[in-house]
Structure formats: C-alpha cells, structure tokens
Chains A and B, each alone.
Chain A
Amino acid sequence: MESSNFADRIKSPALRAFYRRWRNVLIDGDGLPNVAVFDPGDLAPMSFTAAVEPHGFRFVFFGDRLAAWLGESLEGRLVQDDAPERFGSLKAAYRSCVEQQVPAYESVHFDFGGGDTVSVERIVVPLFDASQGVSHVGGAVMIEDTDVVGSDAAV
C-alpha cells in the first residue's frame, strides 16, 4: 500500500509527518492506529480528536493553539452528521474517514485581495478502538495567516 502519492501532495511538512506517523503505526505497528495510544507528536497543540457518535462527531480533544485561533475550544462540541455535502465540510471528511477508513487531506487558500491571504491545510485520519472499528477521527490543522505574524507557529 504505497502512499507516496498521498503523502507527497501534503504541502505542510508537519502535516506530512503527522500522516506518516499514523501510517507507520498502520503498517509497522502491532495493530490499527488506536485512539488510546496514537500520538500526534509535536502537532498536539494543532490537533484534534472527535468521537464517532450515532448522529455525528463530538470533539473530545481540541489543541490549545487551534482554540486560540478560533477564540474558543470546541472540546465537547457535537458536529452533526446531517448535511448533504459530499466534500468541503468537516462532516464529509469525518464521514469519509469512518466509512472508507482512509485519511483525507484538504487545503484551502483564501485570497481576500490586497495581499491579505490565509492558507489552511487539514488532515483527518481514522482511529480505531479495541474492536478494530473506527471509533474516533483524529486530525491536525496548519494555518498561515498574513494578518497574524508567525501564525503557522502560533495557531
């Protein structure tokens, strides 16, 4: 299961390392990447974990740098899985992770004009429980914002 195509298209070296960490567990570990032991490494402040619930996904961990950028932590927040969108939304990425048990990567570049830009990259990976089902999705986000000096490190 060569993943070079997927990994090579992840722009952020940090997110690429996050993906490879997950993949190394999948390929070389003792089992499927387990939610209880998967370690996002240095990206923990920019990472999140959401539990799969009957009608959506509930954040059980929300990194402090993500919370700082957003202005609030989403820990405990339910993302309802009732929208029809097939892509673009967090729900769709989560659903893809759960149903296909594969990672998803998204990048968005916002150009507001006048040199004001924001670039966001997000990777979402399936995390498994002892029953080997997808019980959680984990991910990390990198943000570069021209309006925030050093945002990539401060998000």
Chain B
Amino acid sequence: MLQFDASDLAKQVEALGEAEIDAQPFGAIRLDDKGAVTFFSKAERELSGYGARPTVGKIFFTDIAPCMANEGFRGRIEAARARGTLDIAFSWIGDFADRGREMLVRIQSASDGGVWIFMQRPARDQ
C-alpha cells in the first residue's frame, strides 16, 4: 500500500494499474487540465457516499475560502499546475460529534497537466 503522505504520491499512483489504485485505502480522482474527471477510483466511489464528483476539483482552487480567492494566489496555483509542481495538503477536523476525526486530502500535479486528488477518510467505527 502506498503512503498517503509520500511527497511523490501522484507519481507513485501513476505507476499503478487501475485495479491497484482501486485497492488503495484512500480515494483517488484524476482531473484533466480542464478540470473534468477522468478517473474515479473504486475506493473513492465506496467511501465518498455522495455525489459531488463534478465539482470536487473546483473547491480546492476557488472555494476553500474567500480569503484564498485573490488573483495573485490563483495565479500561483495556476503557475504551479502548469509547471507540474503543485502539491496541496488539506485537513479538516470537527469537534465533539466528530472528535478526533480528520479528513486528509492531497492534490498533486498529474503528468498530463491535470491534477490528482487523493482523499483519506477516518474509519466509521473510530
């Protein structure tokens, strides 16, 4: 199994076949350079349980927070995407009802100019 925090996670995933990607304990989505979904792993289909696929890429670039949406910042994201060096690590933690649960998301440049989005969710029984 691949390590979710590997610095070259996208490169490692691209070296796998679809069945091997499906077998990973985290979800994987690949977007092309237009933001369209070109791959959706079985783990992601099983773990997500909701239908936000077409928009899932958008949120990390334009909707993480209004505070992130200035032109300079977007430009740096786009430049990194163009260079193939983009690496974003996102985590979300809720209090009380979801105490200790942490969702982790990695976004890394894909070799074709798009991006990979990897999602690691807490186990339901934690």
| Residues on A facing B (Cβ under 8 Å) | 1, 3, 5-6, 9, 66, 69-71, 74, 77, 79, 83-91, 93, 96, 100, 102-114, 116, 118, 120, 122, 141, 143, 147
Q: Are A100 and B76 in contact (CB under 8 A)?
A: no
- For residue A111, which residues in chain B have a CB less than 8 angstroms away from its CB? 80, 85-89
Partner of A102, one of B52, B73, B80, B96: B96
Partner of B66, one of A79, A102, A105: A79
Distance in Å from the Cβ of A114 to the closest Cβ of chain B?
7
Q: Of the listed stretches B10-18, B27-35, B36-44, B100-108, name the one at the interface; the rest are far from the partner chain.
A: B100-108
Q: Give the interface SS of chain B, mostly helix, strand, loop or mixed.
A: mixed
Partner of A96, one of B52, B69, B94, B100: B94
Considering the chains assembled together, what is the distance between the CA atoms of A93 and B103 in angstroms? 13
- For residue A122, which residues in chain B have a CB less than 8 angstroms away from its CB? 65, 67
Q: Are B67 and A104 in contact (CB under 8 A)?
A: no
Question: Could you name 22 residue pairs across A and B whose Cβ atoms are closer than 8 Å?
Answer: A6-B99, A6-B100, A69-B67, A74-B66, A83-B55, A84-B52, A86-B52, A88-B64, A90-B64, A90-B66, A96-B94, A100-B94, A100-B97, A102-B94, A102-B96, A106-B64, A106-B90, A106-B91, A109-B88, A113-B87, A120-B65, A122-B65
- For residue A147, which residues in chain B have a CB less than 8 angstroms away from its CB? 76
A-B contact count (CB 8 A): 129
- For residue B66, which residues in chain A have a CB less than 8 angstroms away from its CB? 70, 74, 77, 79, 90
- For residue B96, which residues in chain A have a CB less than 8 angstroms away from its CB? 1, 6, 100, 102
Q: Are B65 and A141 in contact (CB under 8 A)?
A: yes
Considering the chains assembled together, what is the distance between the CA atoms of A96 and B59 in angstroms? 16
- For residue A107, which residues in chain B have a CB less than 8 angstroms away from its CB? 90-91
| Residues on B facing A (Cβ under 8 Å) | 50-52, 55-56, 59-60, 63-71, 73, 76-77, 79-80, 83, 85-100, 102-103, 105
Given contacts A104-B94, A113-B85, contact A84 B50 (CB under 8 A): yes
Query: In chain B, what residue has the closest Cβ to A145?
Result: B73
Q: Are A5 and B99 in contact (CB under 8 A)?
A: yes
Distance in Å from the Cβ of A78 to the closest Cβ of chain B?
11
Considering the chains assembled together, what is the distance between the CA atoms of A137 and B73 in angstroms? 25
- For residue B56, which residues in chain A have a CB less than 8 angstroms away from its CB? 85
